[in-house]
Structure 1
């Protein structure tokens, strides 16, 4: 496992160094023979590293599996066949993306296989002079161009393209819907993204077959290994592509006010002639045609192939299309279209414990990072409900993250919406999948599918063609990740509290959870979603249990559950999620619950008993008959449980319960706000963060611009500055600037929108962070918290 050195912002290994004078921490067996290969730093090259060849079919078919050995045993190694250092773990690769000064992108479009003099002469005859683009440009030139050209890629601007993408997807499916068999790549997944790309760029629709040929040639020329006899033909195609890009750009200059990103660039050239130059526009024209469609076409083909290889998952999204946004993220993680990027070390640096010299070339295998068990639990499992799926590095990260990521997400979501509506019964045909051999971009050349046209849903239900699933432009929120459950039982445990036992519809085990976890329950079609703590036994893998208090003055969720939910019903839930964890290493615990706050605390006390932790348990309520789970708790905890029933004249004295401050004791509490406030006052003299609490409600209201102030946020990793107006949350300002931030409740309750703070004082308004975490000032909840002053610096 590696970590980032905060002094240099570069990766360092946490593994113990091996006895090697070169500093390599990875075992290579016996001393290498005199003829054995060595890396440039003198480190002997292992047999697996010596055999590494990304042009082999194993890498093309499954890059993460091909380098599994490296990810697990030798995460940074030198490849003699390639002449590159290869990096395979998530933390190392993200740190490389984060530091685009030490790790220059300048070689990203360099030919990975040098071509011979004949092919080079062909390219020269076409005047080929591909310059720097947003992909391979260093600072200080890169960021000014990126800022100038970013606006058309923001979510607000991309919304205008959605109707066209939907229309094209519908029209292309119409062409083969009654055939019963189709190659999705040839018949829709290549041409539609190409048409969308041309529309987005403002390019007239030229001969698509020719552009496809040119695009593949560009990929082979840059990232492939064409044979000597193939290099000349590839060079002619690339040369023609270059000249075509120049001709199209010349036509655009005659009408720069027309729609399209390239015309946008031409207009910006008038105001920023030194930033948006002629050679830059020509290079971007050619690179943009490739980047804007090829990766999207490949990503969608990979996604369809992956989903159809998992029929249960395909059936799930066909039945519940709200899962599509997160399914897209998981497809991009599990089987994305970008296998690797390249970087150049500009100074001596240490990555994953290996010393690498200035001038070294790096192949950073992002597809391997996306399968790193250190970041993604059960990384090889295809899980469309994975909460951190959007941490995938397929789009890169930081200042050079793909600007077109949200256009790609939009197209993929629309394709899946169309296919799940109209072809839910399609299946993969028997076939072998082939790929264009190259190090970086991958997608099957063909995806053959079959179905029975007589079973097409629209033949019996024309309304299938009427609906459309809303597209989420940008990273999906937690609201998109739900799972169906069956209500096994509804039990009244007090006059005002019911306990629900929830199981999986297919009888499978429920996700594992730890005490303090909660789930979000969607309340039918009301649009309400409410959080309820799990109160059952964490060792019971068959079901989740929650207890719900009917709140007459609540927001409607509990009233809906009490009046509508019955045994056998289906509900949708999200989670479990945990921001109220029990520290299982503590010596002593005091558990305090008030009213329905018993739900998370009961699970904690059960776990403390199982672990042998010394604890006391205090439960307050109006009366014993109003206190949920009481009989079970008395049976389980005996004398450790103290019941404070108001109608019996027993009121909890928190000062007496807590006693003398003790550094070895942790206090866990959940209940009414007045109880939590009283406990906070009693714990003021205790060590920081002795008191851990769970809140069910937030006092966060609608922002009042008259009571707030605007502030700016510098995003260190992305290299941009975002203004946050007085009437807007930081979360929404970040999303408007095309920055991905996960979210769920957006009330400061759940903690999913946390961002790291590097500089500036935060006005914390959440109920997630502890006192010590607030004082440390290193993180904030972007949905509600703000800057105390005029500026913050975030690690985004």
Structure 2
């Protein structure tokens, strides 16, 4: 995605694309209009057509797509965080004089430091953020939350922000820092002033008033530090920071202590407060999701992640290039300032299926960019998750009949943070469940610290129909168990069926977006038992659980032509692709191979809907696909999509070895091997170069296991080397690739690995970019 050696191109403001997109880029205004109403919707045109563009009004390059934003976060050398806390609206000379009068001297903090200083400080100050330390905060958060709910439980109407969602996160932050809980309202005023000062667009007159508040905030932080220095045995993160200042002043200097004190009071509570307000507004506005949570609290952790994706409090962050770079198809000069809009990334259909749908069962909601990514990912993400989960669990248990009141929602005007200033809710106190069941007031569920467990992310579905799709192939029609419409999906998507002791992935074969799902499941007599169990036990009316949909085999719809190749049950994603291409009016051909027509699923529908684009190869009739001719005769601009047996996929990879990268797309439906064999595996070390941490990977664990145990967040899905979600970059070391994701060329580059299955060669150490 990113080329460090790209030409600088023209001056930042000169690279404005041709009309009509130039007009949209020129008109983009981060401080008014559509962006302030709904930043993700305001940048839909950019995600679709121009994912990197220069905004002359803001003086920043706007980045809107998921993969581009992830690429920026990955490389904090080329894309420096140095401008994160820079005033996006330059201060007036009068405001600067006011700040000077207060001795204001804000310096670098962890969010806007370059390497190697950033990681040195992060490592020195990370202990309090580790899961085992955060676990001890749960009771304190629960107590503070319960006290607030107790105070308004019988009132029938309340503003959740004023009643709970601002003050509790602030008290949690102060407790975490070890700061005295002196004056909540003063701190609230200071915090708002700091946010507007850094990310807002105040008028000249407003800048003067804000400058006084910011200056007083600076002095207030200094007084707290002096008080804390007189308490050498004090607890909390700021006390630890002060002690580190004494132990290692070269890494944690005086200026850093004061600046971080001011910044973290804002960062530790403002984002959680806003995210929690967004969460209740979103969930109460999606009544079915609210009712599902009330009925099944195990859904809460993933519901929080989906709220962070759908309506996160961190809308955008900033970076600045340290050298000429290429992002997507755009050349950026050295010094270019970037506004990377995470809210837009979180609605990117290239990563999230039907992204505009709020879906608490979304199996990859945790991939959201709200916490950032990479070395600068939010250190406080897990304490924020913890607070939001406890807020939601307490309120949904005690006030399941809560509803949004009629109101107009107001938001602070700025580029980067979003959450309603008030969330008014109503309920009938006479219907409070604890009036008849008092024990409900003291009940609780304790969620483990960290991302949600995948086992809890599954929706209930019902088997509407069971049929014989072909010889040895079972066809299923699934519908939502509550009679709702199942989420839409894109061609190539799959779901994970949870039945009995088995979780198995199957491609969706259409028709797409009908509100129900169609699956075709081949009986594999020599498989691991999942298909046998399904063929033997599934009956109409049976209730099952299902994860997804999720798409790892996505069509590039911009290609000029398509060759679709299916072997056996590999027809399932290929059929959905043919349907989609036909609907788009694209040029495509389907080549379907099988041992005989009687064993070839969906043959009748293919012949009905795609007859003029279809070629059948039935082995028992002596028909065989000439893969060599198909690849050799591929017209320029065309792409190949293939799914089928491993022998067929391997042959296509051999034949396409000289084609440009990205022409051949394949999907494997079996993993490369049976998994770990501890008797024959060798232990090895992995060095995490961004974290300055060395871990040992035992013979009976995967790299992914070792990373998760050390508190390193790495997304994962299949754990079989099929999906690619656990990929990491490799800086040094030889990899024994065991995945079905990387192409042969990518394996030879030796720069990426799937941590769920791949290992080092002969126990050698690896260096990972984590």
TM-score by length of 2: 0.81
Matches within 5 A, 1:71-220: 79=55, 81-116=57-92, 119-220=95-196
Q: Identify which range, 339-348 or 580-589, moves more after superposition.
A: 580-589
Query: Over the residues paired in the alignment, what is the CA RMSD in angstroms?
Result: 4.6
Matches within 5 A, 1:270-669: 270-347=246-323, 358-461=334-437, 464=440, 468-469=444-445, 471=447, 473-476=449-452, 478-489=454-465, 500-504=476-480, 505-508=482-485, 511-512=488-489, 514=491, 519-523=495-499, 528-531=501-504, 533=506, 538=511, 541=514, 542-545=516-519, 547=521, 562=536, 566-577=539-550, 591=567, 600=570, 613-618=590-595, 640-641=617-618, 662=628, 664=630
Instruction: Assess, with a 3 A threshold, how the Cα gap between structure 1 residues 239 and 552 changes in structure 2: closer, same or farther.
Output: same
Contact 1:602-1:633 within 8 A present in 2 as well: no
How many correspondences in the alignment?
Answer: 737
Report what 1:695 is aligned to: 670
Q: What are the Cα deviations for residues 8-54 of structure 1, in whole angstroms up to 9, with x where unaligned? A: 5x999xxxx9xx9986251257xxxxxxxxxxxxxxx9665565543
Contact 2:563-2:589 within 8 A present in 1 as well: no
Contact 1:256-1:264 within 8 A present in 2 as well: no
Compute the displacement of 1:289 (Å): 0.9
Report what 1:723 is aligned to: 695
Compute the displacement of 1:367 (Å): 2.7
The equivalent position to 2:754 in structure 1, one of 762, 778, 781, is 781
Q: What are the Cα deviations for residues 641-682 of structure 1, in whole angstroms up to 9, with x where unaligned? A: 4579xxxxxxxxxxx9979984637998878xxxx79x9999
Name structure 2 gaps, 5 residues minimum: 583-587, 609-613, 632-639, 658-663
Instruction: Assess, with a 3 A threshold, how the Cα gap between structure 1 residues 385 and 758 changes in structure 2: closer, same or farther.
Output: farther
Instruction: Assess, with a 3 A threshold, how the Cα gap between structure 1 residues 537 and 179 changes in structure 2: closer, same or farther.
Output: same
Contact 2:363-2:547 within 8 A present in 1 as well: no
Instruction: Assess, with a 3 A threshold, how the Cα gap between structure 1 residues 90 and 266 changes in structure 2: closer, same or farther.
Output: same
Tell me, yes or no, if structure 1 residue 5 matches structure 2 residue 9: no
Contact 2:81-2:318 within 8 A present in 1 as well: yes
Q: Aligned partners of 1:268, 1:353: CA distance in 2, in Å?
A: 44
The equivalent position to 2:733 in structure 1, one of 760, 781, 788, is 760
Name structure 1 gaps, 5 residues minimum: 30-44, 593-598, 645-655
Q: Identify which range, 680-689 or 57-66, moves more after superposition.
A: 680-689
Compute the displacement of 1:273 (Å): 2.2
Contact 2:12-2:332 within 8 A present in 1 as well: no
Compute the displacement of 1:294 (Å): 0.5
SS of equivalent to 1:755: strand
Q: Aligned partners of 2:352, 2:255: CA distance in 1, in Å?
A: 42
Contact 1:698-1:767 within 8 A present in 2 as well: no
Report what 2:661 is aligned to: none
Contact 1:245-1:282 within 8 A present in 2 as well: yes
SS of equivalent to 1:533: strand
Compute the displacement of 1:762 (Å): 1.5
Contact 1:756-1:794 within 8 A present in 2 as well: yes
Report what 2:636 is aligned to: none
Compute the displacement of 1:600 (Å): 4.8
SS of equivalent to 2:115: coil
Compute the displacement of 1:614 (Å): 4.3
Contact 2:148-2:163 within 8 A present in 1 as well: yes
SS of equivalent to 2:496: strand
TM-score by length of 1: 0.78
Contact 2:494-2:548 within 8 A present in 1 as well: yes
Compute the displacement of 1:134 (Å): 0.7
Instruction: Assess, with a 3 A threshold, how the Cα gap between structure 1 residues 693 and 392 changes in structure 2: closer, same or farther.
Output: closer
Instruction: Assess, with a 3 A threshold, how the Cα gap between structure 1 residues 693 and 375 changes in structure 2: closer, same or farther.
Output: closer
Instruction: Assess, with a 3 A threshold, how the Cα gap between structure 1 residues 50 and 532 changes in structure 2: closer, same or farther.
Output: closer
Q: Aligned partners of 1:269, 1:26: CA distance in 2, in Å?
A: 50
Report what 1:241 is aligned to: 217
SS of equivalent to 2:147: helix
SS of equivalent to 1:664: helix
Q: Aligned partners of 1:130, 1:588: CA distance in 2, in Å?
A: 59
Q: Aligned partners of 1:238, 1:691: CA distance in 2, in Å?
A: 56
Contact 2:31-2:201 within 8 A present in 1 as well: yes
Compute the displacement of 1:185 (Å): 0.6
